[in-house]
Structure 1
Amino acid sequence: MSDPTFDRLGIWNWESENVADEIEYAKYAESKGFDSVWQGESRLVRDAMTIMGAYTQVTDSVKFGPGVTNCYTRNVALMAQTFSTLHELSGGRAMLGIGAWWDPLASKVGIDRQNPLRYMWEYCTVLRKLLDLETVTYDGQYIQVEDIELDLVRANAEPRTVPIYIGATGLTMNKMSGELVGNGTIDGVYMNYLIPPSHNERAMEKLTEGVEKQGGTIDDVDRPQLIAVSMDEDADVAIDNARGLVTQYIGQQPHITKASGIDPEVGEQVGEELGGWPASAEDIERASRLVPDEVVTNIVAAGTPEDCVQKVADYCEAGCTEPSLYSLGPNVKEVIDVFAEFKAE
């Protein structure tokens, strides 16, 4: 087997011990030739926008975006305003990864996700028009705006070329995302993690169906992907280090359980042991005993450096255009160093 190569590489930052570490990882990734830094914002941890503002001041070339924020808690006009500002601060390096969030967290903060597909379509449609500096009136089922535009009286009044990526996991969301790429609204999808490469293949079919419906091709759809990496010279240690995260997601997020291909009964048993969201460390430890090694290695790049590189290459073979590496351990720089050796020149 020949060594894989990666045309593009990114990292994913989320919940490091302190913010300074995440800023350092962004700088280090850039120094090693990485192309992007994605900032997690799926839970109530750190605000991605604040940290990305810091990235604009300490990096020169790497692109960055939230991986992903959600389409509910920021009004569409505020989102356009925020990314117009980040575009200015970074010299055009800002990207936007946006998803439909997840329950029970959304419902716990008062968000009713009764039709996330329609909401996302309307939100992205209005957002793109605002970033293109259009004056927008839109009367949708969920989004209604009247005669608004980015008020760039003193700022550089050029359209904000901010790539938009929908964080799509479900196959229907992938098909819709393909349609939105095809009609020029978004640029691609930010493929999810804790799913097997085989799910990528199913998503590719739906992306192709959607984009071709609008007269495009799958090559029009950019497909960066968040991929969890648990790396250790001892493969058993690496797998054990990933088990807790896998346990949390398959027990708490049904869309991940469905996409992962895990036996639904296993998912239900894990969920019962966790006892809901949030779960304590003791809950996670107890439930993780139900999660075998093969479940972990099916959805995480877990093992030796060689194992991890090959698993990430499998995701790329199945449709990912840019791996976004999330180190599950403290060895973030080691993960960056290992993958930098396989970066295409």
Structure 2
Amino acid sequence: MIGVVMPRDLAAGDVVAFARRAEELGFGELWVVEDLGYRGGVAQAATALAVTSRLRVGIGLLPAGARNVAFAAMEIASLAQLHPGRVDVSVGHGMPGWMRSAGAWPRSPLTFLGEYITVLKRLLGGESVDHDGEYVRLDGVGLHETAVPEVPPALLAGVRGPRSLALSGQVADGTLLAEPVSPEYAREVLKHVSPTRPHRLVAYNLASVHPDSATALAAVRPALAVVGEPDWRPHVTPLPFYDDLLALRRRATSDEEFTDSLPDEWVRRLAVTGTPEEARATLGELFDAGVDSAVLIPVGEDALEALGAVV
């Protein structure tokens, strides 16, 4: 399955047009972003679902610490009832800096996320839940029988660390990976997830496609500045050029110098980019590595134009 991400800073007047255009272009999935200070994921998903008829819509991701699990279940169940079979939801720790600034970072994020996803799945399944955990406490809470979705939506964990990935394999229906996702990283992730039942792997990747490969690579380079930062180390550690990439990051005096110095072959490994043929080859490698849904993040100032360019 190939999907696309709706930009978090998309003009409000373009949200409906973007969702409809994604469906018209044949994408199978549309993922909306919930980042602190931008738009809420549930509201965006509801809007996209309401103005499309076929497109599967995912929320990536809901930070567990920001949403009481019982009320999150109500929102998610409503989406699943109103748009059956078209909703995916990922839950995660959230970015530590953002969550701390909002007063919503638990002492043990891993314990909290495990409790949260386990209880959320039970609620969406129609159970009345008593749970006295370290973080999640419910006393006979459940959805009313009229609010339980006939088919509960898939719950994915949006995580990246080894222990969090192992937790995802234990309690979630899938794992959502932030960009960049190379085939090497996808295979490494699945080693940690170690799924023993059906488990979807959804992978975000920056995307820029053009008949001229150099033009496509130039467009995607600035967005790769983060790959040398500590939070993104798990994404690049499995790559054969990992040590050289870190050395390049240390030598560079600016983000621009760093991204301009990335060899073309590295850029192609860190994004879905190049000519249409090169991009299709990269997608094929991702699917071969175990990715179920390759979700593209179009690069470009005009989001609607960029969306059409990556088809």
Question: What's the TM-score once normalised by structure 1's chain length?
Answer: 0.79
Partner of 1:277: none
Q: Distance in 2 between matches of 1:176 and 1:308?
A: 32
Q: Distance in 2 between matches of 1:116 and 1:171?
A: 13
Partner of 2:270: 299
Partner of 1:204: 190
Describe the superposition over 1:306-345 as per-residue Cα deviations: whole angstroms up to 9, x where unpaired.
2212112211111101211211123334245x3xxxxxxx
Pairing partner for 2:250 from 263, 266, 269: 269
SS at match of 1:178: helix
Pairing partner for 1:228 from 196, 206, 231: 206
Of 283-292 and 60-69, deviating more is 283-292
Match status 1:250 vs 2:243: no
Q: Distance in 1 between matches of 2:203 and 2:276?
A: 19
SS at match of 1:190: strand
Partner of 1:320: 291
- Displacement over 6 Å in runs of 4+: none
Distance 1:310 1:67, change over 3 A: same
Partner of 1:195: 181
Matched residue type, 1:27? R
Q: Distance in 1 between matches of 2:268 and 2:218?
A: 10
User: Where do 1:1-345 residues align within 5 Å?
Assistant: 8-151=1-144, 155=146, 157-159=148-150, 161-180=152-171, 186-208=172-194, 211-212=195-196, 216=197, 220-251=198-229, 254-261=230-237, 262-263=242-243, 265-266=246-247, 269=250, 284-285=255-256, 288-289=259-260, 291-329=262-300, 330=302, 331-335=305-309, 338=311
SS at match of 2:159: coil
Q: Distance in 2 between matches of 1:285 and 1:265?
A: 15
Alpha-carbon contact 1:169-1:255 (below 8 Å) kept: no
Describe the superposition over 1:98-150 as per-residue Cα deviations: whole angstroms up to 9, x where unpaired.
22212322222223354322211100011011111211111112211211112
SS at match of 1:195: coil
Alpha-carbon contact 1:171-1:202 (below 8 Å) kept: no
Alpha-carbon contact 1:87-1:160 (below 8 Å) kept: yes
Task: Tell me the CA shift for residue 58 of structure 1.
Answer: 0.8
Structure with the larger strand share: 2
Describe the superposition over 1:18-52 as per-residue Cα deviations: whole angstroms up to 9, x where unpaired.
13433223222323433221112244322221111
Partner of 1:183: none
Q: Distance in 2 between matches of 1:258 and 1:315?
A: 17
Query: Structure 1 regions of 5+ residues with no counterpart?
Result: 1-7, 181-185, 274-282, 339-345
Matched residue type, 1:269? R
Q: Distance in 2 between matches of 1:117 and 1:81?
A: 23
Q: Distance in 1 between matches of 2:206 and 2:192?
A: 23
Matched residue type, 1:110? G
SS at match of 2:71: helix
SS at match of 1:95: strand
Alpha-carbon contact 1:187-1:221 (below 8 Å) kept: yes
Q: Distance in 2 between matches of 1:266 and 1:102?
A: 25
Query: Structure 2 regions of 5+ residues with no counterpart?
Result: none
Of 288-297 and 327-336, deviating more is 288-297
Q: Distance in 2 between matches of 1:197 and 1:42?
A: 26
